[in-house]
């Protein structure tokens, strides 16, 4: 099972709705949007991180909490450059997912292509369905007991 957490996300959405997030108003950059689904014996998670340099991405797992961190820095400009529009969010972006005990956090595979970070998290062997053999009572071979 995969669970997400961002305790301030709903509060941010409400404040942006009532206060607006147009030019001239402050607002926290949007969190990393993601899609997650189960595909066979693994969970697949896609994070949208457009424009992020691969070396700015960082993944860590601690006690079944997966943290994805990315940083977008401003473009280096000289003194002769005058910015006309600056709408792309800058700074550090972070997202946490709680990985259930049914997932194998030791074998996460990460791939970054075209602004999308894809994680493949295998289902733990102990959590996969398995067949249990049933022994019928009364069908055992009789044993001889010596007195």
Task: Tell me what the pLDDT averaged over the chain comes to.
Answer: 80
Q: Where are the domains of the chain?
A: 2-127
Helix (H) or strand (E) holding 65: strand 65-72
| pLDDT for residue 25 | 40
* CA–CA separation, 70 and 21 (whole Å): 22
- The strands making up 58-62's β-sheet, listed across from edge to edge, are 2-5, 91-99, 65-72, 58-62
- Above 70 in pLDDT, residue 106? yes
Phi, psi dihedrals of residue 96, rounded to the nearest 5°: -120, 140
The pTM (predicted TM-score) of the whole model is 0.66
Classified by CATH at the fold level, domain 2-127 comes out as Immunoglobulin-like (2.60.40)
């Amino acid at each position: 099972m995969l669970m997400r957490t961002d305790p301030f996300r709903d509060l941010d959405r409400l404040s942006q709705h009532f206060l607006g997030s147009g030019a001239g108003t402050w607002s926290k950059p949007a969190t990393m949007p993601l899609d997650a689904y189960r595909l066979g014996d693994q969970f697949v998670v896609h994070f949208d991180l457009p424009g992020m340099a691969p070396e700015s991405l960082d993944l860590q797992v601690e006690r079944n909490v997966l943290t994805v961190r990315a940083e977008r820095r401003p473009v280096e400009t000289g003194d002769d450059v005058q910015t006309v529009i600056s709408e792309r969010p800058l700074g550090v972006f972070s997202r946490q997912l709680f990985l259930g005990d049914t997932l194998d956090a030791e074998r996460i595979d990460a791939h970054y292509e075209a602004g999308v970070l894809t994680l493949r998290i295998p289902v733990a062997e102990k959590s996969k369905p398995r067949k249990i053999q049933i022994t019928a009572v009364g069908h055992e071979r009789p044993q001889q007991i010596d007195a």
